[in-house]
Amino acid sequence: MPVNHQILLDNRPEGEATVSNFKLVTTETPALADGQVLVRHHFLSLDPYMRGRMNAGKSYAQPQPVGEVMQGGVVGEVAESKNPKFKVGDKVVGFGGWQEYSVVDGNLPGVLRKVDTTHVPLSHYLGAVGMPGVTAWYGLVKIINPKEGDTLVISAATGAVGSAFGALGKARGCRVVGIAGGPEKCKYAVDELGFDVCIDYKLHKDAASLSKALKDACPKGIDGYFENVGGMILDAVLLRMNAFGRIAMCGMIAGYDGQPLPMAYPQLILVNRLKVEGFIVSEHMEVWPEALAELGTLVATGKLRPRESVAEGLAAAPEAFIGLLKGKNFGKQLVKVI
């Protein structure tokens, strides 16, 4: 069995996460038991939710255990199999974590899934045609539930979730407005992802300024909002929500370091009779087949052209993860393992 390199959570962060919270180790890969599969990882997924799990306190997922491999999504291929459902060379997506190899019980439902790379690149199964894409689909379809002509807004618009949301919203005949950081990201949102407008939040020092920009971009108000950030951006959006608007609460990256995120205008939830619903996409596995079918078609037909930021080598994962939390990535953040 091959030697395996792994990245562990070595200690919990105090305030901002740093590279020193992680540790690279070398281990032996255990021999396979009956029913198990050895997966060689090609790409690791880095996602903002991982930051919340690094804390010991309550989050929407169980804390990442200290001294164990950082958990997360992976795509790769079957290197060895003692399970008739999987053969050597099969391309698969799973939850193998920050390491080069994982040993998986192929009989457990939902743990390992074979994927077709004929029309969709393998890496996209961690982004547009994976968990982030389904996250966008669920928030849009099941919570916001737009009708043709609605105005939709999403923060972190050029990330893996945001890019899928834009394509899904346009496919439903909506006006889609993004919020992103920097002129390059905003240009990409409009020119390649099909957003009608993208607002650069870095040009706005407070919620009032950003809200004015939203008023210009959304002259008919906002019917649906997909929240990834929180803080000032949520305050600005609340000022522009229409009566009976819907807000899908997916992430609060502005608060992942543990500081409070007060809301300036919570009364607007009542005044406008807003529906505000938080969700975790892994609790809604029943929708994944339908969502993945639509997302795969959008990618295969070129209507969704996701961009990827790729860090080279397992050892680069901590630095890339810190960069993701600071918005340095462009599109889906991956680590190429081999």
Instruction: For residue 287, tell me if it sits in a domain.
Output: no
Residues 183 and 84 occupy one common structural domain: no
- Give per-residue pLDDT as tens, 143-177: 999 999 999 999 999 999 999 999 999 999 999 99
Helix (H) or strand (E) holding 42: strand 36-45
Same-domain check for residues 168 and 94 = no
One-letter amino acid at 127 equals G
User: Does residue 292 fall inside a structural domain?
Assistant: no
Question: What token pair was written down for 180?
Answer: 């992103």
- Do 26 and 87 lie in one domain? The reply is yes
Do 107 and 161 share a domain, yes or no?
Answer: no
Tell me what pLDDT residue 116 has. Answer: 93
- Same domain membership, residue 64 and residue 122: yes
What is the predicted pLDDT for the residue at 259? 78
Of 76, 121, 71, which is closest to residue 97 (Cα–Cα)? Answer: 71
**pLDDT for the residue numbered 60:** 67
CATH at residue 161: 3.40.50.720
For residue 176, being part of any structural domain is answered with yes
What is the percent of the chain where pLDDT is above 90? 88
Question: 208 lies in a domain?
Answer: yes
Which class for 98: exposed (0-12), middle (13-18), buried (19 or more C-beta within 10 A)? buried
The answer on 235 and 147 residing in a single domain is yes
**What CATH number should be reported for the domain holding residue 121?**
3.90.180.10
Same domain, 100 and 144: no
Q: Of 150, 186, 188, whose CA–CA distance to 170 is shortest?
A: 150
Residues with Cβ within 8 Å of 291's Cβ and at least 6 positions away in sequence, in order, are 133, 134, 137, 138, 141
Same domain flag for 32 and 71: yes
Q: Are residues 76 and 33 in the same domain?
A: yes
Asked if the model's pLDDT at residue 110 lies above 90, the reply is no
Q: What is the residue type of 318?
A: P
Residue 164 lies in a domain: yes
Which pLDDT tens digit goes with each residue over 273-314? 999 999 999 899 999 999 999 999 999 999 998 999 999 999
- Domain span holding position 135: 131-282
Least confidently predicted of 22-31, 49-58, 198-207: 49-58
The answer to whether position 295 is within a domain reads no
In a domain, 291, yes or no: no
Domain count, the chain: 2
Label residue 212 left, alpha or beta by phi (over 0 means left) and psi (-120 to 50 means alpha): alpha
Point out the domain boundary residue: 282, 297, 327: 282
The predicted model gives 123-142 an average pLDDT of: 96
Q: Are residues 68 and 152 in the same domain?
A: no
DSSP structure string for 15-29: SS--GGGEEEEEEEP
- The pLDDT mean for the chain works out to 95
Domain check: are 54 and 170 in the same one?
no
| C-alpha distances in Å from residue 336, one per residue of 40, 93, 309 | 12, 14, 10
For the stretch 235-273, pLDDT in tens is 999 999 999 999 999 988 888 777 788 999 999 999 999
Instruction: Say whether both 153 and 260 belong to one domain.
Output: yes
Residue 285, C-beta contacts closer than 8 angstroms, at least 6 positions apart = 110
Instruction: Look at residue 290 and tell me if it is in a domain.
Output: no
SS3 254: helix
Contact between 113 and 119 (Cβ < 8 Å): no
What tokens were used for 28?
């032996």
